[in-house]
Structure 1
Amino acid sequence: MDSNNCDFSPMKQHIEDGIQHLIHRLQSNLNVLGNENYCLLGSLEDAKEQLIAIESMAASFYLNCYLSSFTDTYKDITTTVQHLSERKHGGLIVVERVDSLDTIIQKGTPIGAMVSPKLLESIFYPGNPLHDGAVLIRGNIVDSAANVLPLTTQVITEKKVGTRHRAALGVSEQSDALALVVSEETGKISFALNGKLYPINTAQPIIL
């Protein structure tokens, strides 16, 4: 696997352009701040929406960056979570990186097949006996499904953070694994890494 896939130059350029445009917008707002005839609220709302779009691009960039060094199938994985999000099918995918997960997770059903969107989407299809657990990906292989992950010990007050999110955080606290979560309630996509949860704005497609 090519560890240099983290370049993603076009994506980086999109992020840079977005930040530069946002800086210019905020500077323009600063310049007219003393003008009582000019209300900044609408412009600040636009700037907030632009920042959300930049955050989405940055999340896509780092997600692909973190995945590409450990699996050549990162595009298939991100395509899968997009499809799950569109259909509001819940999903939890764990990509093993350097740390072995053998002693951290409770292994489920062995799969041993090449990663593909069709396979992953079928696993998480509602009603499938394997859809409630986590899929474990090692390299380019779907190692197993219906795995049970340790839950985070963090106190989370946000109501929409469910068991999948707590499990994603839990495995990321005890290893360097990256865990992707799709909420079946909202369709929102997040990924957990190093004990932190990073939401991806599903109004924007994940840039591949």
Structure 2
Amino acid sequence: MEETNCDFSPLKEELKERLRALQGFIERTIDAFDEEDNCMLGEFELIRKEISETGLLAGTFYLRCYLSSFTDSVDEISKSVRHLSERRHGALMVVERNETTTDLVTPGIAIDAAITHSLLESIFVPGTPLHDGAVILRMNKIVSAASVLPLSVRDSSGRKLGTRHRAALGLTERCDALVIVVSEETGRASFAIEGRLYPFATGVAED
């Protein structure tokens, strides 16, 4: 994974607080583990849940770091993803970075409009002409919608991935783009970079 250089201090501080609290809880659990007749399954479940929630927050932090270097529209993108997730509207958003995606993507419908959360959300309303495909975002513009991405051909280690997730992986295996995915089945959001998927929390308030 490439290096990032960003601040987003409130998110970073929340992450550090969570990690410190998790560390303390794990240490207390270890100390109590040797006590006789003391079932620790509840504690292990709490640790698993806290690690999962902390991982989602970390995904949000790093997503904002990656986006902030290539667009000023981080808040608009984040707001659209949150709303799409709440409504379980499937979405696929390609954020171009240093490399163009032109030769890797089947062109869709030209949009050439400023990035706004309302426009992004309207594109992915189920049943509308542009919802089935990806939007291409370049700097602060929505370049196109209904674009088709190459699918990943890698072994996904037994995971059953939908077409959107395979498309996100497929493009990021071939270039440095970042691709955001919202699942229409679960509403969960993740982003792909360098051929790997990372879940993130959508309920984190914008700075």
* TM-score relative to the length of structure 2: 0.94
Find out whether 1:14 has 2:11 as its counterpart.
Answer: no
Residue in 2 aligned with 1:53? 53
Of 30-39 and 80-89, more deviation after overlay is shown by 30-39
Find out whether 1:25 has 2:6 as its counterpart.
Answer: no
Shift of residue 37 of structure 1? 3.0
Query: Structure 2 matches for 1:50-199, cutoff 5 A?
Result: 50-156=50-156, 157-159=158-160, 161-199=161-199
CA separation in 1, counterparts of 2:16 and 2:95? 28
Q: Is the 8 A contact 1:52 1:201 kept in 2?
A: no
Q: Is the 8 A contact 1:92 1:179 kept in 2?
A: yes
Unaligned runs of 5+ in 1: none
How many corresponding residue pairs? 202
Match of 1:206 among 177, 201, 204: 204
CA separation in 1, counterparts of 2:69 and 2:122? 26
Q: Is the 8 A contact 2:59 2:198 kept in 1?
A: yes
Shift of residue 21 of structure 1? 0.6
Q: Is the 8 A contact 2:60 2:201 kept in 1?
A: no
1:45-95 per-residue CA deviation (whole Å, 9 max, x = no partner) reads: 111111111111100000100001100001111111111111111000000
Secondary structure class of the residue paired with 1:174: coil
Residue in 2 aligned with 1:38? 38
Shift of residue 184 of structure 1? 0.7
CA RMSD of aligned residues (A): 1.4
Shift of residue 38 of structure 1? 2.1
CA separation in 1, counterparts of 2:201 and 2:44? 19
- Between the aligned residues of both structures, percent identity stands at 47
Shift of residue 139 of structure 1? 0.3
CA separation in 1, counterparts of 2:53 and 2:159? 22
Secondary structure class of the residue paired with 2:130: coil
CA separation in 1, counterparts of 2:163 and 2:199? 16
